Structure 1
């Protein structure tokens, strides 16, 4: 049914979200992903993970059941550790997709189909790789 009066439409900034947590412990500042069951967990070398951003605060559900608690993630551009050797990301990869190695590192390739996308490479410096990640990155 179409509006016939003004509507107070709720909104979100689109930067921070809270998701039900897998049975895991996540550290602040780590890569956050949604697993195939729909729960927030830490980044790892695996397929089928959906990168949702950076974990904002440590949260521990390792002794609980999936969904017992929630964890906060933030969308944005963050600096992560660079992979090594042939999988190290260089300035030539700016604008391309990079892949999750673990909860703090990214790589140039999918590791022959074993890694999930992390986001888009924005910059590379001596300290790591700047990656745009979250809901609008891929």
Structure 2
């Protein structure tokens, strides 16, 4: 590609939204943490090497093959449940927390079995605010 020689209208995508192909035979509920696993979106879960996309904007049911449906996600700060057995504490603000499932986070990596969910922003009695998304 050569350098521009005339003005052009750039194509822009707002940085807080994205979409990804959903794994076949998978449902991702609205409000769920959605993650990438082997190039396909699935609900958040306890596993290594997952990349958090963000929170699902709608419920997506992919009854077909891998990639037959897409999930639209939003990055940002959202409240999730705090795992009682490994709770995020107020002193953990600013640190990473870890995925347990599509709505729950924990303080620790579960002896290296959990992926990072995001940065802890605030801890309240009924949940943890976490900045999620790449």
Asked if these proteins are the same fold (TM beyond 0.5), I'd say yes
Deviation at 1:55?
Answer: 0.7
- Pair 1:27 & 2:26 matched: no
Cα distance in 1 between the residues matched to 2:3 and 2:123:
49
User: 1:41 aligns to what?
Assistant: 42
Provide the aligned length of Structure 1 versus Structure 2: 132
1:104 — aligned with what?
A: 103
> Could you say which residue in structure 1 is the equivalent of 2:67?
67
Which structure has the highest strand share of the two? Answer: 2
User: What residue number does 1:131 align with?
Assistant: 130
Query: Equivalent residues in 2 for 1:47-62 (5 A)?
Result: 47-61=48-62
Structure 1 unpaired stretches of 5+: none
Aligned to 1:110, the other structure's residue is in SS state coil
State the Cα deviation string for residues 41-76 of structure 1 (Å, max 9, x = none). 100000111001001100101x31110111111000
Q: Which runs of 5+ in 2 are unaligned?
A: none
How big is the alpha-carbon RMSD for the aligned residues of Structure 1 and Structure 2?
Answer: 0.9
Aligned residue for 2:88, secondary structure, equals coil
1:97-136 deviation line (CA, Å, top 9, x unaligned): 100000100000110010011000000011100000112x
TM-score by length of 1: 0.92
